Structure 1
Amino acid sequence: MEPATTHTAPIQADCETDSVTSVWSWWPSWRPTSMSLLKTTESKILACIQNDLWARFVTLPNQDRIWTLTLTNKAVRKPAEQAHKTPLVMVHGFGGGVGLWIRNMDTLSRSRPVYAFDLLGFGRSSRQSVGLENMILLGHSLGGYLATSYAIQYPSRVSHLILVDPWGFPERPETQTQEGQGQGTEVGKRPPLPRWVKAIAAVVSLFNPLAVIRAAGPWGPGLVNRFRPDFKRKFEDLFEDDTMTQYIYHCNAQTPSGEVGFRAMSESLGWAKRPMLQRVHQLPPSMPLTMLYGAQSWVGSSSGDKVAQIRDQAHTKVLLIDDASHHVYADQPEEFNRVVENVCNSVN
């Protein structure tokens, strides 16, 4: 592994398409963000961690760098015992970063090493390779989609797959009636979208999902505060100021390489081009799978029920956490940590 480092990635000119690079080359200086500011905000968040923390960049063969955290319990009397435990690897969702796990990392690292990293193109990673042969793999939202893809490709490395409100599982519903069957059967439960909604969606699809934050320049942090005040509320007992919304802003005001990758995987309005329900059968039947959903989340748990049906209920659990939205780990951290700890303890 690469030793701990304080290097920051250079800021690159941000543009939404290659064809307009020269036109929008002034955007970086207009936006009140930098990798240095992201680092400072993240450091304030990570200062809350009580256990031993090792933060560093892991360099990939192609020279991209993955910002990686490793947590171990400094209070454990026999470190060798924890070393024999299967590590837990946590993968954040779209637009997030390692700092969002601040309510979970200390608790979950009490009995085993915990790894958390910024997805390539998000947070502080270059816009995972830490030598782990076997892991308990946990992914939230987009991270759940990517974690499932990884488990399908490298099943021998995953002892248990935990998906938290995973994105990209359901197929895009049909909204128009079937033709040629003579019965006008409605496919799906949603009414057809108005033309103006389709028109706006068509325009938005030309840009990366978080382009508006960058386009807002000095008003970008205010936009995050206005449209995502929930992030401040979720962590208000830890930070009285705008630390978490500032963190979200700095994570997403950098070069949008991660968003480019997300666009390549998704269709209009955020549906996955390759819905995971079409591939989940490729997971080994013997691989334990736990799916956690927030009872008040916009991600429907029906996909989890379908996964259980596809896998014929084998080694599959679908759990709902009450009074939790999409960000289950922050809304109900104690219950989330309890469930994940139980899953980890079931492994070893």
Structure 2
Amino acid sequence: MFWNQFSEEKLIELEHTILSTLKVPYETFYVPIELKSGSEEKIWTISLNSESTKTPLVLVHGFAAGIGFWCRNLDDLSKDRPVYAMDLLGFGRSSRPTFSYDPDEVEKEMVDSIEAWRKKLNLNKFHLLGHSLGGFICTSYSFCYPERVLHLLLADPWGFTDHLSEKPSFFSNLLFTIVHVRALEFVRAIGPFGPWLIQRARSDIAIKFEDIIEDKSILPNYVYQCNAQNPTGERAAYSMIWGYGWSKNPMILRIDELEKEIPITLIFGSDTWMDISIGQKIKELRPDCSVDINIIDDSGHHLYSEKADEFNDIVITSCKLKDLNNDNDLKE
């Protein structure tokens, strides 16, 4: 098709170029799963240092992203433990099932797909890190399968703020416009001009990786190829959004349901458009639980790429500490 510029071969080529920046060995593969509906799907996955006996770290990306966005993190994070990252179902190179239109059901479908993925990989217990929309999904997974989550890490998580108690800010209004105009639908609608528009409108994406990826067209084109396909994951995300980009079922109203034994590490960018104050609110709602709040200066929403070294240090240190605490618990 001339009008839609999606090419599976191009997506594979772009991802390969991005992942070629990694210095450590890695494997990429599809994990076949069966959803509770009976639908057979596949989740695109990268694994590193899978032979290590340490507790694994699982990474879940945000809206409209894919495993390539972790290229500044995977080397460091996998030095002393297994690391796995996936393209969420409906995103990236994973398959594109039709999701429910009900927000609670969509959330459950996303969670169930991660659990099916976990079973196939035979992972017992792990550190679970989610960025933005991924943070929302990871928190929901931790509600449903607490026995699998040693430690929940939330990087600039979306979907926590209670829309009934908070007044929309300028940035919330901006997000509302983006959500309701649905920029990616426009990108797909303009066909062959889509890749060009992303390169022009989101030149900041390339800047975050310019020291390791010289060609500034690679990352914007990767974003385009990830999202030029049947956008089932994107539409599933929209079904969970209300008004000014809020979650229809905000996590802050449910966070007390999370088992007290699961520690939470929150990481925010100082210049993010997310609500940083949510970290303190979580801490207040979980007074007898471990809640660590980290703010990385001079970074925005994509803190994992903007300040990768600081982000990696926080994740590595917090995971090591939680490993140690868990070992001590087992001895007692």
Bin the TM-score by the shorter chain: 0.7 to 0.9
Residues 1:204 and 1:66: Cα distance change in structure 2 (over 3 Å)? closer
**Does residue 246 of structure 1 match 2:221?**
yes
**Does residue 237 of structure 1 match 2:211?**
yes
Contact 2:161-2:275 at 8 Å conserved across structures: no
Match of 2:272 in 1: 297
Match of 1:24 in 2: none
Match of 1:50 in 2: 23
CA distance in 2, matches of 1:224, 1:209: 10
Match of 2:55 in 1: 86
CA distance in 2, matches of 1:211, 1:313: 45
CA distance in 2, matches of 1:339, 1:305: 18
Aligned partner of residue 15 in structure 2, secondary structure: helix
Pick aligned residue for 2:249 from 269, 274, 277: 274
Match of 1:104 in 2: 73
Contact 1:232-1:244 at 8 Å conserved across structures: yes
**Does residue 188 of structure 1 match 2:154?**
no
Match of 1:141 in 2: 132
Aligned partner of residue 116 in structure 1, secondary structure: strand
**What is the CA-CA distance between 1:225 and the residue it aligns to?**
1.3
Match of 1:34 in 2: 7
CA-based RMSD of the aligned residues comes to 2.2
**Does residue 333 of structure 1 match 2:302?**
no
Identity %: 41
CA distance in 1, matches of 2:134, 2:267: 13
**Does residue 116 of structure 1 match 2:98?**
no
Say which is worse superposed, 210-219 or 143-152, in terms of deviation.
Answer: 210-219
Residues 1:302 and 1:71: Cα distance change in structure 2 (over 3 Å)? same
Task: Spell out the pairing of 1:57-96 with structure 2 (5 A cutoff).
Answer: 57-61=30-34, 62-72=39-49, 82=52, 84-96=53-65
Aligned partner of residue 110 in structure 1, secondary structure: coil
Contact 2:260-2:288 at 8 Å conserved across structures: no
Contact 1:33-1:253 at 8 Å conserved across structures: yes
Residues 1:68 and 1:189: Cα distance change in structure 2 (over 3 Å)? closer
Pick aligned residue for 1:283 from 258, 262, 267: 258
Aligned partner of residue 85 in structure 2, secondary structure: strand
CA distance in 2, matches of 1:238, 1:222: 22
CA distance in 1, matches of 2:187, 2:310: 33
Pick aligned residue for 1:219 from 164, 170, 193: 193
Match of 2:157 in 1: 166
**What is the CA-CA distance between 1:173 and the residue it aligns to?**
4.8
In structure 1, runs of 5+ residues without a counterpart are 1-27, 74-78, 175-186
| TM-score, normalising length: structure 1 | 0.80
CA distance in 2, matches of 1:189, 1:126: 35
| TM-score, normalising length: structure 2 | 0.84
**What is the CA-CA distance between 1:88 and the residue it aligns to?**
0.2
**What is the CA-CA distance between 1:31 and the residue it aligns to?**
2.0
- String of CA shifts for 1:257-316, please: whole Å, max 9, x gaps: 111210121113321110010111111112110000000010121111111111116200
Say which is worse superposed, 109-118 or 220-229, in terms of deviation.
Answer: 220-229
Match of 2:104 in 1: none
Contact 1:208-1:260 at 8 Å conserved across structures: no
Contact 2:60-2:85 at 8 Å conserved across structures: yes
In structure 2, runs of 5+ residues without a counterpart are 97-113, 324-332
CA distance in 2, matches of 1:46, 1:68: 12
Counterpart of 1:112, as a letter, is R
Say which is worse superposed, 218-227 or 228-237, in terms of deviation.
Answer: 218-227
- String of CA shifts for 1:141-196, please: whole Å, max 9, x gaps: 0000000000010001000000000000001156xxxxxxxxxxxx73759x99xx
Which contiguous aligned blocks of 4+ residues in structure 1 show a shift greater than 2 angstroms?
187-191
Contact 1:53-1:71 at 8 Å conserved across structures: yes
